[in-house]
Amino acid sequence: MKFFVDTAEVDQIKELNDLGMVDGVTTNPSLILKSGRDILEVTREIADMVDGPVSAEVVALEADAMIEEGRKLAQIAGNIAVKVPLTWAGLKACKVLSDEGNMVNVTLCFSANQALLAAKAGATFISPFVGRLDDINLDGMELISDIRQIYDNYGYETQILAASIRTVNHACQAALIGADVMTAPPGVIKKMADHPLTDAGLEQFMKDWAKTGQKIV
């Protein structure tokens, strides 16, 4: 499973990237706001640091304007994935931008039918938002599972990018279902290393080691 980091905070991306944990990065207008940075500047910095796809989102609502913005974002670096919303205009922009050879991430997906349309429009990635479905008492993981089945039924190559991953359970469930990629905030990725039995076991080993009076180096 590929890990994308869902943030525009350069320092946090760098820490995980140095560990080999980063296969790509996703940003959105809210994350750009949170970073306090200029979109073109911060996206360039991230794209220079990371080898994999870096998603940068258009903000226009009409297809032609989305295409114009998408072309500009794609010029930032060779590894930019242009992010467009899953609207009819976004699907039109997806088709044009992907036909031009750009990676396209279709975002704000909340149904299997939307995901089917994105695949037909040539999306490189489809981003179903798990956490936001859970927020309204629906099952985000069921959506990942439905999309996996539909894409496998027909051999669509669009990659399922499980997004709005908020918990370590989300991460594990998405991997079990077979999402190609998950994007999660740095904190969630780091929490995947935690287990209380690891902490307890380590504490016991340290106590026993101290009693041996030995040193390794």
∠ CA(34), CA(40), CA(44), 5° rounding? 100
Which range, of 116-124, 158-166, 196-204, 205-213, touches ligand E4P by CB under 6 A?
A: 158-166
Q: Are 126 and 119 in contact, with CB atoms under 8 Å apart?
A: yes
Is there binding between residue 164 and ligand E4P (CB under 6 A)? Answer: yes
Is there binding between residue 26 and ligand E4P (CB under 6 A)? Answer: yes
Is there binding between residue 156 and ligand E4P (CB under 6 A)? Answer: no
Contact with ligand E4P (CB under 6 A) among 6, 9, 69, 146:
6
Enclosing H/E stretch for 188: helix 186-191
Enclosing H/E stretch for 161: strand 159-162
Contact with ligand E4P (CB under 6 A) among 132, 134, 150, 190:
132
Which range, of 96-104, 152-160, 163-171, 193-201, touches ligand E4P by CB under 6 A?
A: 163-171
User: Per the structure block, which two tokens stand in for 42?
Assistant: 């911060």
What residues between 86 and 125 interact with ligand E4P by CB under 6 A? 107
Is there binding between residue 131 and ligand E4P (CB under 6 A)? Answer: yes
User: Per the structure block, which two tokens stand in for 214?
Assistant: 């030995």
Active-site residue identified among 34, 72, 83, 215: 83
Give the separation between CA 72 and CA 65, rounded to whole angstroms. Answer: 11
Is 83 a residue of the active site?
Answer: yes
- 3-state class of 122 per DSSP? coil
Catalytic residues: 83
